[in-house]
Amino acid sequence: MKYFKIFFITTGYLCTTLVSLSAVGQNSDIDAALVQLLQDVEIRRYLEQQELDSLTQGTYRTKGGDTLDRIINLTMPNSRIRRSFLRQAFVQANPPAFRSANPNRLIAGVDIRLPTAEDILALIFSTSPETIADSTSQWISYP
């Protein structure tokens, strides 16, 4: 049995598929393999479009093999915030998605919420700015 590899690019990713032919020159086998390849590409495009749609809504469905750093690179590629803060913000925003609150133990098949600016600020400040402004009445003043 002979095999040949087909390379194609879909939404920026180089993909390959291995197509087997029982005999070179049988057009029906080649046609069937190409039809299957096109169906696979269409399914992949549909799934990628669903993923992009969910990202615009502020969520991401984790898949097997996903890492938190890959998700950060996908959702916030140009962020200038330290990766350690972003990891903590993801864990704090999605406690059920991480075993033992460990950013390296991401659970597959879970919808996670992308952290907002408020989530990141909550990591930096222990109290909200409104609480600080309200506490000025208790300050000691000198004449």
Tell me the domain boundaries of the chain. 2-54, 59-131
Structure pTM?
0.55
Q: How many residues does the chain have?
A: 143
Instruction: Give the per-residue pLDDT at 46.
Output: 57
**Cα separation, 67 vs 45, whole angstroms:** 22
Compute the mean pLDDT over every residue in the chain, rounded to the nearest whole number.
75
**Cα separation, 107 vs 119, whole angstroms:** 21
Q: Is the pLDDT at 101 greater than 50, yes or no?
A: yes
Range ranked top by mean pLDDT from 38-42, 73-77, 103-107:
103-107
Both tokens assigned to 14: 């180089």
**Cα separation, 97 vs 102, whole angstroms:** 10
Both tokens assigned to 105: 């133990």
Phi-psi region of 25 (alpha: psi -120 to 50; beta: other; left: phi over 0): left
